[in-house]
Structure 1
């Protein structure tokens, strides 16, 4: 690969991350257009890396290309989101079972430190506290995937997590629901210390499917 290609890849990656983060932060909402010239101007790049980034974002499910209308943030329907949580439960449940057999005492300590920080963020029911909780929760789940050693599962599940963030933010959790989620994390740590794969898988699956059920209940109440 030439130096020019390296620079092009770097620019594409930068645009990809920028647009993805705008979507995950809610600055670009479902159905909003992603305007190529505006993004290119804002990031100081040509339109070529913007087009490449939009192709990747489309393949990863964040954006859809509409005929004669350009790119727009994907509109997720109820069944799409429900299936996303179900797939996460399968993938991350299996990963947790694998992690229980491979995890080291030091890695457990690192995960428990993340649990501490998540619970501290739970005690701050503010926008910044909710944002911190969401990011820390994501870090914990990603770390479990990494420990499992299932590389492809890590990539797929991470993308599915981002969809979950779009569908259900932690600001929508009641204090009781947040406490339940925190309790799940602690039970998962117990499973890891015991190297109990069955318990680890059960806890992770229930943890994720409970989040999906919370979203379903919220929709019923609207």
Structure 2
């Protein structure tokens, strides 16, 4: 049975379940998160929780997908395609860099790595909702910029992946290894600015 066929995304308590699960997963990780704790945090019964998500893996995947899609939608909503391409890319780079080092993104990444061998579908679900989804949407924007003559790119999908990797320079590794957990606006802006500068140096007209 597929995730799409299993999950019923209706009912007034659906958002409560997601919010409660997000809170518990972020605090306790995937293995440490109990159904009892999630139900308690969501303010629903275990029966209600199971009516939406009969499997904890489905619930974690839904939390990851919901948060990643929300992030992508927020960034896209801020991009004004009438603005110069550098300005639009700077908005994207700033928000992407901030998201990549956020507590949520880092915790989900750690959970996916920790559970990789037992539950490889968790990593696949996060990849599709996060990196793959973001890169697809970025590629769509780049394709439009190319059509308007603002950028020169042969492979927009490869370029979109390059852009996201540029936004991980320095800070992401520090966050992933737990060396640094809080990052200033100045640090975020420095990475974003350099990412855009290098991207434009390669693909700008």
TM-score range, shorter chain: 0.3 to 0.5
After TM superposition, the score normalised by the length of structure 2 is: 0.36
Greater relative contact order structure (CA < 8 Å, 6+ sep): 1
After TM superposition, the score normalised by the length of structure 1 is: 0.34
Bigger strand share: 1
